[in-house]
């Protein structure tokens, strides 16, 4: 991004302005818009103009009763006034993405000016990655910048196909994507050792590829959250009515075997906070994770597990954390996740590199006000998970080649 020339160029930029709106269409959280500002500002400072494109919600999935697009609800016009405030300059809006208005308004842009196009997902060609739609988008700008990491794992027209219409020196990543890749690569390529991964969340099935990939790279693998009980049961433990994926028991054993073969220190929670119901005010007590009584379920890691996990995290020089250790949304079952967040923050303070990303652990770290005490918090969600799994993301490949 820093090395590219933007002077006098109209820069077609894919951003993630998919912000939450209330019933009056006011923005309730502008984090995504704020995060895109440095990239936009850089182009403007360098003498370019900016044509912004983004999706907002799922307009083609949530059609009106008469089958038409709910334009009032899903229009990107909702972000224009706030963006203008943040950039401290006027922001224009085109009522279409590739139609006459978009073409005319983008052609008239002068250096320092900003235009927002209508929601890319109003056009069917966006999600299908239609070449004609992508080509028409590409015609609007001289340079293409993708700064929407959260959609980089989708082969959509504005994130992927559009890039093929620009020469190598006329396309690149914005600062947001650059930082996400740079930080993920610190964990993926030649990390300082020991390298630890802390994986939690609800299900093994969501994280199979991640676990498999991690088992060939990490020194320490810590497994918590709901998925731990499938591993417990696979090894012959009694887990009561904890979350178990019966069809993943064999897979869990294979993963344990692979860990042993690769010399990975694998930690499962020795004990759990178990409850007699999946609810915030359920009766709860500490139990060994492999001897959970019938009628009880593990909803958080227990005090011994917290000690074991924290000690292992303290040994690591580099770590990745994906997924909470329990049902952290409920106070009674949030202690494990809180303690792990603190352990990751402490290890970071002691000099380790820590990446939090690709799951609900991001929400946990933010909720606990520890986001600035870890090395990097990814906003990439599913895209980060796929990148860490070692997959080539279409939006990244389209630019890197
Ligand atoms: P993920 O999106 O994969 O990070 O999963 C996050 C979800 O897993 C959260 O909504 C947690 O409530 C849930 N979760 C964590 N631990 C458990 C557990 N022991 N039992 C059921 N759900 C859990």
Which CATH number belongs to the domain containing residue 41 in this structure? 3.40.50.1260
- 265 Cα to the center of ligand 1, angstroms: 23
> With a 6 A CB cut-off, is 327 part of the ligand 1 pocket?
yes
**What was the pLDDT predicted at 310?**
98
How much is the average pLDDT of 30-39? 94
Verify that 152 and 217 share a domain, yes or no.
no
Asked if the model's pLDDT at residue 337 lies above 90, the reply is yes
The ligand 1 atom at the shortest distance from the C-alpha of residue 272 is 19
pLDDT category of residue 161 using cuts at 50, 70 and 90: very high
Q: Which domain holds residue 32?
A: 10-173
- Give the catalytic positions in this structure: 32, 203, 359, 382
pLDDT category of residue 399 using cuts at 50, 70 and 90: very high
Verify that 157 and 217 share a domain, yes or no.
no
- 203 Cα to the center of ligand 1, angstroms: 7
> With a 6 A CB cut-off, is 298 part of the ligand 1 pocket?
yes
Torsions phi, psi of 21, nearest 5?
-125, 150
> With a 6 A CB cut-off, is 269 part of the ligand 1 pocket?
no
pLDDT category of residue 62 using cuts at 50, 70 and 90: very high
Asked if the model's pLDDT at residue 358 lies above 80, the reply is no
How much is the average pLDDT of 104-130? 97
The pair of three-digit structure tokens given for residue 171, joined into one six-digit string: 């396309």
The pair of three-digit structure tokens given for residue 164, joined into one six-digit string: 């093929």
Asked if the model's pLDDT at residue 357 lies above 90, the reply is no
pLDDT over 90 for what percent of the chain?
90
The pair of three-digit structure tokens given for residue 200, joined into one six-digit string: 């939690």
Q: Is residue 198, in this structure, part of any structural domain at all?
A: yes
- Residue matched to tokens 């860990």: 259
- 396 Cα to the center of ligand 1, angstroms: 29
**What was the pLDDT predicted at 87?**
98
Peptide bond into 194 cis (omega under 30): yes
Cβ–Cβ under 8 Å, residues 199 and 322: yes
Cβ–Cβ under 8 Å, residues 106 and 112: no
Alpha-carbon span 240 to 238, nearest angstrom: 6
In testing the pocket of ligand 1, which one of 202, 228, 271, 380 has its CB within 8 Å of the most ligand atoms?
202
Q: Is residue 5, in this structure, part of any structural domain at all?
A: no
> With a 6 A CB cut-off, is 302 part of the ligand 1 pocket?
no
Q: What angle do CA 212, 215, 216 make, to 5 degrees?
A: 100
Give the range among 24-38, 185-199, 351-365 with minimum mean pLDDT. Answer: 351-365
Domain boundary among 122, 150, 173: 173
Q: Is residue 393, in this structure, part of any structural domain at all?
A: no
Q: Is residue 400, in this structure, part of any structural domain at all?
A: no
Asked if the model's pLDDT at residue 86 lies above 90, the reply is yes
Domain boundary among 139, 173, 207: 173
How much is the average pLDDT of 171-200? 96
Q: Is residue 343, in this structure, part of any structural domain at all?
A: yes
Alpha-carbon span 214 to 321, nearest angstrom: 12
Which span out of 249-253, 359-363, 387-391 was modeled with the highest average pLDDT?
249-253
Verify that 136 and 206 share a domain, yes or no.
no
Helix then strand count (H, E) for the chain reads 15, 17
Domain boundary among 173, 202, 223: 173
pLDDT category of residue 2 using cuts at 50, 70 and 90: confident
Query: For helices 31-45 and 175-188, what crossing angle results, to 10°?
Result: 110
In testing the pocket of ligand 1, which one of 228, 278, 292, 327 has its CB within 8 Å of the most ligand atoms?
327
Asked if the model's pLDDT at residue 283 lies above 80, the reply is yes
For strands 91-93 and 114-116, give the pairing.
parallel
Q: What is the DSSP string of 15-40?
A: ------B-TT--BS--HHHHHHHHHH
Q: Is residue 268, in this structure, part of any structural domain at all?
A: yes
Verify that 158 and 300 share a domain, yes or no.
no
Verify that 285 and 350 share a domain, yes or no.
yes
Cβ–Cβ under 8 Å, residues 94 and 105: yes
> With a 6 A CB cut-off, is 240 part of the ligand 1 pocket?
no
The ligand 1 atom at the shortest distance from the C-alpha of residue 228 is 19
Asked if the model's pLDDT at residue 292 lies above 90, the reply is yes
H/E stretch holding 87: helix 80-87
How much is the average pLDDT of 169-180? 96
> With a 6 A CB cut-off, is 245 part of the ligand 1 pocket?
no
The pair of three-digit structure tokens given for residue 318, joined into one six-digit string: 């580099």
- 149 Cα to the center of ligand 1, angstroms: 24
Work out how many domains the chain is built from and give that number. 2
pLDDT category of residue 3 using cuts at 50, 70 and 90: confident
Verify that 152 and 35 share a domain, yes or no.
yes
H/E stretch holding 303: helix 303-315
Asked if the model's pLDDT at residue 137 lies above 80, the reply is yes
> With a 6 A CB cut-off, is 323 part of the ligand 1 pocket?
yes
Alpha-carbon span 371 to 280, nearest angstrom: 25
Verify that 218 and 169 share a domain, yes or no.
no
Verify that 84 and 159 share a domain, yes or no.
yes
Verify that 193 and 117 share a domain, yes or no.
no
Alpha-carbon span 13 to 162, nearest angstrom: 11
* 329-332: long-range contacts, CB 8 A cutoff, minimum separation 24: 330/279, 330/280, 330/299, 331/280, 332/273, 332/275, 332/280, 332/281, 332/282, 332/284, 332/299, 332/300
Among 316, 336, 317, residue whose Cα is nearest residue 325: 336
Q: Is residue 4, in this structure, part of any structural domain at all?
A: no
pLDDT over 70 for what percent of the chain?
100
The mean pLDDT of the chain is 95
How much is the average pLDDT of 79-106? 97
Verify that 51 and 122 share a domain, yes or no.
yes
pLDDT category of residue 367 using cuts at 50, 70 and 90: confident
The ligand 1 atom at the shortest distance from the C-alpha of residue 323 is 4
The ligand 1 atom at the shortest distance from the C-alpha of residue 359 is 4
Verify that 152 and 226 share a domain, yes or no.
no
pTM assigned to the model = 0.88
Integer-rounded Cα radius of gyration of the chain: 23
Verify that 233 and 288 share a domain, yes or no.
yes
Q: Is residue 229, in this structure, part of any structural domain at all?
A: yes
Asked if the model's pLDDT at residue 104 lies above 90, the reply is yes
- 225 Cα to the center of ligand 1, angstroms: 6
Going by alpha carbons, the residue nearest to atom 17 of ligand 1 is 226
Cβ–Cβ under 8 Å, residues 17 and 36: yes
């Amino acid at each position: 991004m820093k090395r590219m020339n933007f002077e006098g160029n109209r820069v077609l930029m894919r951003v993630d302005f998919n912000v939450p709106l209330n019933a009056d269409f006011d923005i309730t959280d502008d984090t995504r818009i704020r995060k895109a500002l440095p990239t936009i500002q850089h182009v403007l400072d360098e003498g370019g103009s900016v044509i912004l494109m983004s999706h907002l919600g799922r307009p083609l999935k949530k059609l009106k009763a008469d089958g038409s697009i709910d334009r009032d609800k899903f229009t990107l016009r909702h972000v224009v006034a706030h963006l203008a405030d943040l950039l401290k300059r006027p922001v224009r809006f085109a009522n279409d993405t590739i139609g006459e208005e978009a073409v005319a308004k983008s052609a008239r842009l002068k250096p320092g000016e900003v235009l927002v196009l209508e929601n890319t997902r109003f056009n069917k060609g966006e999600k299908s990655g239609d070449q004609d739609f992508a080509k028409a988008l590409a015609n609007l700008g001289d340079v293409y910048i993708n700064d929407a990491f959260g959609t980089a794992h989708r082969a959509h027209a504005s994130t992927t196909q559009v890039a093929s219409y620009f020469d190598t020196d006329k396309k690149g990543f914005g600062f947001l994507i650059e930082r996400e890749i740079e930080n993920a690569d610190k964990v993926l390529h030649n990390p300082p050792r020991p390298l630890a991964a802390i994986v939690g969340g609800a299900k093994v099935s969501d994280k199979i590829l991640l676990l498999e990939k991690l088992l060939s790279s990490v020194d320490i693998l810590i497994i918590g959250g709901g998925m731990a009980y499938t591993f417990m049961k696979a090894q012959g433990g009694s887990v009561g009515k904890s979350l178990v994926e019966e069809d993943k028991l064999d897979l869990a054993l294979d993963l344990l075997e692979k860990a042993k073969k690769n010399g990975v220190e694998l930690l499962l929670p020795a004990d759990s906070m178990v409850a007699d119901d999946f609810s915030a005010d359920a009766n709860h007590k500490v139990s060994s994770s492999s001897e959970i009584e019938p009628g009880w379920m593990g909803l958080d890691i227990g005090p011994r597990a917290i000690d074991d996990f924290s000690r292992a995290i303290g040994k690591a020089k580099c770590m990745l954390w994906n997924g909470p250790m329990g049902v952290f949304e409920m106070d009674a079952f949030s202690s494990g996740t809180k303690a792990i967040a603190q352990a990751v923050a402490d290890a970071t303070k002691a000099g380790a590199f820590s990446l939090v990303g690709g799951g609900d652990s991001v929400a946990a770290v933010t909720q606990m006000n520890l986001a600035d005490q870890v090395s990097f918090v990814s906003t990439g969600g599913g895209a980060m998970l796929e990148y860490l799994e070692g997959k080539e993301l279409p939006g990244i490949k389209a630019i890197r080649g």
